[in-house]
Structure 1
Amino acid sequence: MIEEHTNGLLLNRTTMLGERNWRDDDTYKLIFSPSGHAAYRFQKHNMLLSDGEAMLLNPHEIHKQLRHTSEKWIVELKPAFVTEVAEELSGSTVDPMFALVVCKHPLLQQWFSTTHLYWRMAATEKERALWLENSWIQLAMVLLRLVPGSHSNKWNIKGYEPTVHVVLDALKQSYQQDWTLDNMVQLTQLGKYQFSHLFKKETGLSPYSWLQIYRVIQSQKLLRQTDDSILSIAMQVGFKNVSSYHAVFRRIYGQTPGFFRKTITNI
């Protein structure tokens, strides 16, 4: 199934799930794996998706599909449309740059399941077009709220399972702290394995990966608004050394903190 719209494209496939050619799309590209597993290759690393997980690619993010085991959904959104929605929400007129992370949230899963169900019910092409006209805006708003990026130093945690929410809230409040898995588990009534499994099942990330990414997101404000050194900023947000900060920053943004600072201060 492929449906084109003025604001983008919606694709659902159960075929052509094997290795594909390298791509360099000029749109934001949301890849969702409703079930099974998926693997994608980027220039310097691979990313894996499991049941209900997604990732959002920025325009011209060079990538290659390696496999999907059962089904894939792809939504392409035109940059001008996403920027327009971002401007309505926050007043920013700059194209958002999303972090390249695995994301999982009930709202995102609900959007896909509702769209899929209604698609099967829609009787005419006009009805499907009208549905997309409204659902595109909803999806863009969900992505801007739930996927971290340059557009915001917030990461919405509402909607997750209560035990996971408690830990996420604590991490957000004290992200500079030297957290260990033991510290996190103490906030729950679970064992280490149970907690780690539940956290990954709910968010798509390990607890430590989520914390490291959140620290990078928090560092964006310091990069924008201060002249502090990169080393100082890394320490302020909780990294133990600047090399770890650089590594996580480059993995999710494809550039160094210094280049990011130069780009956003010249806008």
Structure 2
Amino acid sequence: MTIFRGENYFHQQDFPFYIDKYTILKGQHIPSHTHDFVELVFVLEGSAIHEMSGHTYKLAAGDVFVLEPQVYHSYTCSPDEETIVYNVLFDASFLQREMEVLQQMPSFVNFFYLVPFLRKSQSFVPYHPLQPSQKLQIQSHLQTIYDEFRQRREGYQLIIKTRWIECLVWLSRFHHENRKTMQPSAVSDKEWMDSIVNFVETHYYQPLTLQQLSQLCGMSISSFTAKFKEATGQSLLDYKHAVQIRHAARLLQSTDSKVLDIALEVGFGDVSFFNRMFRKHTGQTPKEYRRQERSGAGE
């Protein structure tokens, strides 16, 4: 199967972003493929069948969805009309600093991280249908981004970045607002907990609170706490610390970085607390662990 690489689209290393307005012809089939970048798809006109993660969905104008790297998917256009989509491709590092702020918004985390993960559930619709006024707003932003990307006039990168951040914020808001009026999807507690565990595993270095994560699932803090412990056998904080220490141990083994730098990299702001947590989970200090691992590797 085809794997699309970011290096073929991102021609500037410090600006890993690409946008295209693509027309899928009547009856055209785009075979299954994946990519090593993040992709956001907005259906401007037409209709198509979209297959991903083993499930098939019917897309219509106004639908929008996020595809993370390594997800295989394909399209089959309607035999009666062309389908026009905006494809927005970007590397996860494109908005690295801005992402830290965006990830404090529960609606953004839900739209951008949890919805893609929950597509594994047959009952969960992984795309988001926009209302007419919402569709026009996103369409206007994407058209500006598309024009700026093609024309590349002075300051185009700043305009693209600004408009793209606005798009992500608007889409997050729309997702939150529309979810209240849509029929609730039959996502089980286990599926929600699996999605939260996946989020903690990939965002362990960020401050995550019970309030933030319980809000994502639409649960009370007490209900979320009980269900998370039932699913993992640990509290949220203990689980997060275990993940952080696991990554720290890997860095101690594979790099020569200072203990302080590793503590900061995995999300501990206090090196003394990091040392205590590391000893709690491994029975050794970070330095003892590194020394033992390296002496064992040399035998």
TM-score, structure 1 length as denominator? 0.52
In structure 2, distance between residues paired with 1:20 and 1:130? 33
Question: In structure 1, which of residues 74, 90, 112 is the aligned counterpart of residue 87 of structure 2?
Answer: 74
In structure 2, distance between residues paired with 1:3 and 1:143? 24
- SS state of the match for residue 80, structure 1? coil
Give the number of equivalent residue pairs: 180
In structure 2, distance between residues paired with 1:88 and 1:25? 26
Supply the AA of the counterpart residue of 2:142: T
Question: In structure 2, which of residues 166, 181, 193 is the aligned counterpart of residue 138 of structure 1?
Answer: 166
Q: Percent identity?
A: 14
Shift of 1:39: 1.8
Match of 1:86 in 2: 99
Q: Give deviations 1:107-166, integer Å, cap 9, x for gaps.
A: 46412234326756999421554532321222233345555xxxxxxxx21xx6xxxx8x
Match of 2:183 in 1: 207
In structure 2, distance between residues paired with 1:19 and 1:7? 28
- SS state of the match for residue 97, structure 2? helix
- SS state of the match for residue 58, structure 2? strand
Match of 1:14 in 2: 23
Map 1:179-258 → 2, pairs under 5 A: 207-209=183-185, 212-213=186-187, 216=192, 217-218=216-217, 225-226=225-226, 227-230=228-231
Structure 2: runs of 5 or more not aligned: 1-8, 117-125, 193-215, 245-299
In structure 2, distance between residues paired with 1:219 and 1:12? 35
- SS state of the match for residue 9, structure 1? strand
In structure 1, distance between residues paired with 2:35 and 2:223? 28
Is the Cα–Cα contact under 8 Å of residues 40 and 65 in structure 1 kept in the other structure? yes
Is the Cα–Cα contact under 8 Å of residues 28 and 77 in structure 1 kept in the other structure? yes
Match of 2:271 in 1: none
Is the Cα–Cα contact under 8 Å of residues 53 and 71 in structure 2 kept in the other structure? no
Supply the AA of the counterpart residue of 1:207: Q
Match of 1:55 in 2: 65
Shift of 1:83: 4.8
Structure number with bigger Rg: 2
Shift of 1:213: 4.9
Question: In structure 2, which of residues 94, 107, 115 is the aligned counterpart of residue 99 of structure 1?
Answer: 115
Shift of 1:43: 3.3
- SS state of the match for residue 35, structure 2? coil
Q: CA RMSD in A?
A: 4.1
